Each structure stands twice: as C-alpha cells, then as structure tokens.
Structure 1
Amino acid sequence: MREQDNRLEQNKQEEPVSILSRSLLTGFIGGVLGGFFGLVLYYFNFSEVAPKSYVLRSWLSAPWIDTWLGNVISIFMMGVISLGTALVYFMLFKKINTLWIGAAYGVLLWIIVFYVIQPIFPNIPHLTELKTDTIVSSICLYILYGTFIGYSISYDYNETIIKVREKEASK
C-alpha cells in the first residue's frame, strides 16, 4: 500500500528549480518591466528615449517599428537582453544581500548604456544633448531596475542557502 502512495502525483516532491534559472527569470521579468516603464516615461514625455530606440531603430528602419508591434517586440527584447545583466549580477554580487548594491548596479548600467556604448545607438542623442528630464527619469528607472534585479537575486540566493543549511542540519 505504501509503494502505491509514493507513486501518486500528490505524494511526489517537486524538482527544485536552480538558483540560476530563477535569477534568469528575474532578469527577464525585470527587463520586461523596465522596458514597459521606459515606454511609459517616453509617452508621458519624461524621457526623449523610448526602448525601441535602443533595440529596433538602431538596426532597422521598417515602418512597423513605430506601431504597437514595435513597442511589444522592443519590450520583449529588453527582457532578453536583461538575461545578460541578471547573469552578470548573479556571478558577481549574489552573496551581497543589500539594496544598495542593486541601486549601484543600476547606476553602473546607466553609465554603460548612456555613456560607454552610446555610439552604437545612432538614434539616441549624446548625453550632453539630452534634457535634464530624460537624464533624471532614466537614472531613476535604471536604479529601480538594478534594485529589482539585485535584491531579488541576492534574496533568493541567501534564502536558498539558508534552506539548504537547515535541511543538512536536520539530517
């Protein structure tokens, strides 16, 4: 009878999802949310730069880029690109469980995007040509993004380590 109970679906334990997989999922969701809020900032004129300026307009000149489809694809692409930033954070800072590292990571990402690799985005004005509203709102968005990515990944990593240690101690 007990063997039969172990085979039932409700008695099977779930396979744990790796910390890295959850971190990448966090990165994708953070990128999608960041792209969406970047689009909101653009539509309400808080920013001169839309997410599609980075992702699509830099390499394509199709008329559909300015439609809702261009916005949706841009937001999705921001999620895919964000997988890389989440992976970098996971590899470098996952053990540091504080909000400040995530906020600093967001500022670092802003500096990289708006200053270091800006020349590969011909549709984005140089940093000195951007309005103050664009600079302030984009820095805030990147800080929010970095905090989301950073604290989510660090918190998940540290909670998983605690659970593993508790499990080992109970054996």
Structure 2
Amino acid sequence: MQQNRKTASRFNRSAVVTGFAGGVLWSAIAWLAYFFHFTDLSVADFVLRSWVWMPWADTWVAELISIILVGLLSILIAFLYFLFLKQQEGIMPSLIFGAVLWVLVQLLLAPLIHGVDSAFQADRNANITTMCLYLLYAVFIGYSISFEYQQSEAYQEKG
C-alpha cells in the first residue's frame, strides 16, 4: 500500500515536470517559428492577446508570460495523457494524441478566440508548422510519461 502511494506520487511529480517542461519547450519553439515567419500567430496572440488589450501585450513580456501559461496548461494535458495513454508503447499513440490536440485547438477553439484564425483561414505553411509542433509536443509528453511508467513497472516486477 505504501509502495503504491510512493509510485503514484512519483508519477504525479513526473507528469507535472514533463507537462511544464514540454509546454515551455515547445511553446518557445513555436515562438521561434513565429519569429522566423513559419506561422502568423505567436504564442501570445493565441494565449494572451486574445483577451488582454493593453500596450504591454505587444511586447516580449507577453510572449514570456504566454509561454509560462502554456507550460502550466500543459501540466493538465500531461495528466490526461498519463490517465488514458500511459500504458501505450510506441510513437503512434503520441502522434494520434497530438493530432487530436491540434484539431481541438486549431479547428474548434481558435474560431472562438478573438483575432485568431482557425486552420481553415490560415495558410498551408502555418498549418503544417503548427501540426508538426503539436505532434512533436505530444511525442515529447507521451514518450516521457510512457517511459517513466514502463520503467516503474519493470522495477516493481524485479523488486
């Protein structure tokens, strides 16, 4: 019983760290994609500028705050992956998870946010870039969580 609590606590900590690190890393890369004009929307356009109309929202501070907010939101996404897909092996579950996230955000959520184009309105380069970023993000989250889970299972079978 005590061992199960320690394992659950370690998984919770692992999901938090993986989610936050993945969100910060891949949203920072998404900002770089915006900086190099691979996409028309920066992280702040999607996260912060859609509901904050102050002058500072157009600065690098807004980008940094948005990247941190994505990291925090990503903790929830990592927990969802942990709850439903942690036992899955291979790259396909992560890729499907990333594609589902892209559809949810770009096709369903984006039209509801002021000033953000949906995937239907964005150009092909922006859609390809964002799809790749979502897929890579999901692979990062999925492999990290699944690897931790598989290692824990192997350790428990030995011990």
Contact between 2:51 and 2:114, CA under 8 Å: does it hold in 1?
A: no
Gaps of 5+ in 2: 1-5
Q: Is 1:69 aligned with 2:61?
A: yes
Q: How many corresponding residue pairs?
A: 153
1:110 to 2:80 alignment: no
Residue 19 (structure 1) aligned with residue 11 (structure 2): yes
**Corresponding position: 1:166 with 2:153:** no
Question: TM-score with structure 1 length normalisation?
Answer: 0.85
Which of 112, 124, 140 is the matching residue for 1:120? 112
1:108 is displaced (CA, Å) by 0.7
Tell me which residue corresponds to 1:4. none
Unaligned runs of 5+ in 1: 1-14
Give 1:33's aligned residue. 25
The question of 1:49 aligning with 2:41 is answered yes
- Corresponding residue number in structure 1 for 2:3: none
Inter-partner Cα distance in structure 1 for 2:82 and 2:111: 27
Cα offset, 1:126, TM superposition: 2.5
> Which protein has the larger Cα radius of gyration, Structure 1 or Structure 2?
1
RMSD value, Cα: 1.3
Runs of 4+ displaced beyond 6 Å: none
In structure 2, what is the Cα distance between the partners aligned to 1:126 and 1:159? Answer: 40
Percent of residue pairs identical = 31
Residue number in structure 2 paired with 1:7: none
Which amino acid is the alignment partner of residue 136 of structure 1? I
Mapped contact 2:107–2:120 kept (Cα < 8 A): no
Which amino acid counterpart does residue 49 of structure 1 have in structure 2? L
